[in-house]
Structure 1
Amino acid sequence: MQYCNHCKVKVKGAHSICPLCSGILEGKGDYKEDVFPFIPTIYQEFNLFIRVLVLISIIAVVASFSVNIIFTKESRWSLLVAAGIACMWISLFFIIRKKNNIGKTILWQVGIISILSVIWDKSMGFIGWSIDYVIPAVCVLAMIVMAIGAKILKIGVRDLIVYLLIDAVFGFIPLIFIIFGWLKVIYPSVICVAASIISLSALILFEGDNMKNELKKRMHI
Structure 2
Amino acid sequence: MKYCEKCKVQVRGDMKRCPLCQRMLVGEAEGGPLYPEVRTMYRQYRHFFKILIFSTIVAAVAACAVNLLLPQSGHWALFVVIGIAGLWISMYFAVHQRNSLPKNITYQAIFISVFSVIWDLVTHWHGWSINFAIPCTFAVAIISMTVLGRLMKIPAGEYLICLIIDIIFGFIPIVFYAIGIVDVKIPSIICISCSIISLAGIIVFQGDEIRRELTRRFHL
TM-score, scaled relative to structure 1: 0.49
TM-score, scaled relative to structure 2: 0.50
Q: Which has the larger radius of gyration?
A: 2
